[in-house]
């Protein structure tokens, strides 16, 4: 594994890095080099922070201290709330997310009344049973402990309240945001100069907000998105007027990728000349987001590879329809792209 231009490897040994593997009987050989603890910690933390969760398990086999002190917290880089009807005990949540680094999923939790009752209860058993996080507190409580979040998915049913919006404004490292535009931009438009939007590179809008007839509001909304300084990837779930929506952002050369999910038919041919335009077959946003967060493979990577294929003339430049079936890891090498005429592009 390369770190800052230097490569190092570690043998998994049950009693730590200090253990010297005896490869020869010669006693005059110098002892195996040992890193100072501070440097060792930095190395493992950097390495773990650049890995996906399933890869982190390898680091945990190196030594007990590596598992306990350095690496294990990175396993909790993904916080997934139940999509509906579930709950997470607040004490366990707070303990686990205190060191979370980057991602968070839709909090659809409820029962404010029981939450308030449990706070006043003196019965510890009752308090444990009545500890679901209420919907309007889940976002605030979690993001309070995840201020370094970089990848945030807020589902269509996420409760956005003033308290939640205040917490969003504290996210200074946000890079990927999936959200319903109506939740974020209504009833009044968000300040697009807000710190939490300055570093966003990937933005997906889950709902069909755009209305080409709603001139003043749409102009302000589009201008705000166009002025986000780091934004390069846009995804839409609009059900109509796709050419019109595309026109709103077409002239911004900073954008590298436009992804649409809804069926579009022949109207797409209006924008065949824009190589950045990609239609992705409708997906399960929850499953795709979780796969991207845990494995680094999602519709964004599919779209980027599709565009790169067209630039390299590997894929027909008149193709716009990129589709990837849900495959196991072993089958992933056989993924195929689907062109506008329905033929497969290997």
Cβ atoms of 277 and 253 closer than 8 Å:
no
CA-CA distance, 300 to 284, in Å (whole number)? Answer: 14
In this prediction, residue 229 carries a pLDDT of 92
Region 104-112: mean pLDDT is: 33
Say whether pLDDT at 290 is over 60.
Answer: yes
Cα angle, residue 173 at apex, residues 172 and 179 outer, rounded to 5°: 90
The verdict on pTM exceeding 0.85 is: no
Q: Report the percent of the chain where pLDDT is more than 90.
A: 10
Among candidate residues 235, 236, 231, 177, the one with its CA nearest the CA of residue 201: 231
Neighbours of 313 (CB within 10 A): 8
In this prediction, residue 294 carries a pLDDT of 77
Give pLDDT tens digits for 209-220. 555 455 555 677
SS3 300: helix
Cβ atoms of 258 and 249 closer than 8 Å:
yes
Higher local confidence (pLDDT), 235 or 120: 235
Give pLDDT tens digits for 70-98. 666 666 666 666 555 455 555 565 565 55
Overall residue count recorded for the chain in this entry:
346
In this prediction, residue 110 carries a pLDDT of 29
Report for 63-72, 120-129, 145-154: range of highest mean pLDDT: 145-154
Helices (H), the chain: 37-49, 53-59, 64-65, 90-97, 112-120, 124-129, 135-145, 162-168, 181-185, 195-198, 215-226, 242-249, 285-295, 299-311
Of the ranges 88-97, 103-112, 248-257, 323-332, which one carries the lowest mean pLDDT score?
103-112
Q: To the nearest whole number, what is the mean pLDDT of the chain? A: 65
Work out the pLDDT band at 20, boundaries 50, 70, 90.
Answer: very low
Work out the pLDDT band at 35, boundaries 50, 70, 90.
Answer: confident
Cβ atoms of 1 and 7 closer than 8 Å:
yes
Neighbours of 340 (CB within 10 A): 15
Report for 44-48, 138-142, 308-312, 340-344: range of highest mean pLDDT: 308-312
- Using the structure block, give the residue that is written with the tokens 């969003």: 168
């Amino acid at each position: 594994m390369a770190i800052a231009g230097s490569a190092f490897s570690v043998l998994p040994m049950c009693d730590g890095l200090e253990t010297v593997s005896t490869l020869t009987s010669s006693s005059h050989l110098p002892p195996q080099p040992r890193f100072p603890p501070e440097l060792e910690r930095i190395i493992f933390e950097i390495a773990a922070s650049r890995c996906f969760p399933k890869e982190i398990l390898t680091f945990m086999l190196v030594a007990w201290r590596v598992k306990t002190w350095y690496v294990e917290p990175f396993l909790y880089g993904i916080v997934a709330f139940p999509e509906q009807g579930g709950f997470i005990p607040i004490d366990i949540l707070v303990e686990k997310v205190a060191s979370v680094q980057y991602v968070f999923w839709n909090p659809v939790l409820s029962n404010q009344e029981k939450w308030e009752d449990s706070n006043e209860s003196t019965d510890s058993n009752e308090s444990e049973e009545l500890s679901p996080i209420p919907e309007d507190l889940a976002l605030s409580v979690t993001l309070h402990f995840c201020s370094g979040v970089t990848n945030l998915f807020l589902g269509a049913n996420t409760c956005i309240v003033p308290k939640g919006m205040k917490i969003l404004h504290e996210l200074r490292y946000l890079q990927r945001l999936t959200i319903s535009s109506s939740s974020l931009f209504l009833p009044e438009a968000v300040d697009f100069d807000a710190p939490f939007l300055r570093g966003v590179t990937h933005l997906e809008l889950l709902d069909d907000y755009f209305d080409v007839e709603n001139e003043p509001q749409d102009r302000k909304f589009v201008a705000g998105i166009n002025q986000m300084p780091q934004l390069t990837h846009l995804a839409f779930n609009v059900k109509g007027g796709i050419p019109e929506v595309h026109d709103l952002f077409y002239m911004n050369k900073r954008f590298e990728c436009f992804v649409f999910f809804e069926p579009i038919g022949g109207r797409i041919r209006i924008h065949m000349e824009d190589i950045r335009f990609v239609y992705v077959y409708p997906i399960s946003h929850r499953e795709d987001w979780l796969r991207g967060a845990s494995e680094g493979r999602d519709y964004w990577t599919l779209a980027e590879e599709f565009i790169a294929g067209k630039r390299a003339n590997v894929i027909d430049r008149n193709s716009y329809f990129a589709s990837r079936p849900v495959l196991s890891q072993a089958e992933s090498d056989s993924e195929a792209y689907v062109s506008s005429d329905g033929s497969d592009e290997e």
